[in-house]
Amino acid sequence: PIYCASSPGCHQNTLFALFTQFRSRSIQRLAKSVGYNQLQTPVNGWSWPLHIFQITGWLLCLFFALVGFGILVPLLPRHWLPAGYIVSFGVCFIYHLVVHLTAVSIDPADANVRAKNYLGPLATFNRNQHAHVIENHHCHVCDVNVSAKSKHCGTCNKCVCGFDHHCKWLNNCVGERNYRLFLNSVLSAILGLGLLLLIACYVFAEFFIDPMVLRSDHPLKNQTDRWFVFLPAAPVETQAPAILITTGIFILLSLMTVVLLGHLLIFHIYLSSCFSFCIHCVFTHLTNTHILCRIATEKVENLVVPKLGKKGCGGREMRTVVTEHPWLDFG
């Protein structure tokens, strides 16, 4: 049972058991229903089936790229065009694309799991025989010895070294091998999309303030009723209301995306700082405990109990204790 009022430390055992059940709830559900050997084990984020969040993310990325670099940046004044293309597209977008594709393509599985052909049938996890999927650094599903930092992902059905979480937007686990790439992908997306958001706000405002500023590099800059997009590669004629509506939708979607990605980045930084602080506290506590135990051991080993001396008050025999550490005293 999880709770037993008669056992010592029952509250600590209860919290630990509840935490263990919370962490492995998906594993328990899958083990009871179909068994691990019937689940597909994907290699990386390109393995079938693709997640709906991954497809949505790619569609959003395509929308931001087409509208940002096909409509908004070409409307900038002539002296701003090089900065608009080089910074937002040449640096942020290309860098984000590279790190994002790399994070999706990497197999984050444990080294021993990758060395084994885990695409075939896997062992069925039997909770009647084992309390946990990983015991003594051995995974009963992958049937290999794994590192101390590895966790078995119930979604990917494999052990991931330095497991952080399973990202549905990447359709891949985020672990030790691709965690930095994941953070760089989030950060580059925030920077690139933030720049395009500023450009979109500028274009949207100038449509009402002075539309001619947006036509300084336009082939029909003396006309106000005809607009072209996807300049200069593939000019497409359109009307001002269409550009305004598209820009407004772009601003709303990009603002929501930047806020969500910023929250995700801050959350990961917060968790990393808290983890480092907890590790520091545990290390300090263990160090202090080791020092105290060492002092106590030396104190006991260096006890010198002389012969009985003078009698004290009440006829008691007085005893002198000499230790190596004079600031410690026995009661």
Please, are residues 178 and 109 in contact by the beta-carbon 8 Å criterion?
Answer: no
DSSP per-residue string spanning 78-120: GGGHHHIIIIIIIIIIHHHHHHHHHHHHS--B-HHHHHS-TTS
Min mean pLDDT across 12-21, 197-206, 274-283, 294-303 is at 12-21
Report, as an integer, the average pLDDT of 180-206: 93
Q: Judge whether 305 lies within some domain.
A: no
What pLDDT is attached to residue 260? 93
Q: Judge whether 28 lies within some domain.
A: no
What pLDDT is attached to residue 297? 62
Report, as an integer, the average pLDDT of 282-297: 62
Strand 138-139 with 134-135, pairing = antiparallel
Between CA 253 and CA 67 the distance in angstroms is: 12
pLDDT at 12 exceeding the cut of 60? no
Q: Judge whether 119 lies within some domain.
A: yes
pLDDT at 201 exceeding the cut of 70? yes
Q: Judge whether 73 lies within some domain.
A: yes
| 219 three-state secondary structure | coil
- What's the pLDDT band for 186 if we cut at 50, 70, 90? very high
Q: Which of 142, 167, 281, 293 is catalytic?
A: 167
pLDDT at 225 exceeding the cut of 70? no
Both tokens of 184, joined, read 């760089």
Give me the helices (H) in 155-230, please. 179-209
The DSSP 8-state label assigned to residue 322 in this structure reads B
Please, are residues 172 and 103 in contact by the beta-carbon 8 Å criterion?
Answer: yes
Q: Judge whether 228 lies within some domain.
A: yes
Of 263, 261, 247, nearest in space to 64 by CA: 247
Q: What's the structural domain count of the chain? A: 1
User: 274 an active-site residue?
Assistant: no
Please, are residues 171 and 50 in contact by the beta-carbon 8 Å criterion?
Answer: yes
CA end-to-end distance (rounded Å), the chain = 43
What pLDDT is attached to residue 33? 39
Q: Judge whether 82 lies within some domain.
A: yes
Residue 135 domain boundaries: 37-270
Q: Judge whether 301 lies within some domain.
A: no
What pLDDT is attached to residue 137? 85
Q: CA angle at residue 82 from 80 to 83, to 5 degrees?
A: 65
Q: From residue 85, how far is each of 43, 144, 229 by CA, in Å?
A: 36, 50, 15
Q: Judge whether 174 lies within some domain.
A: yes
What pLDDT is attached to residue 118? 65
pLDDT digits (tens, 9 = 90+) for 47-67: 888 899 999 999 999 999 999
Hunting for tokens 């078995």 — which residue is that? 152
pLDDT at 151 exceeding the cut of 60? yes
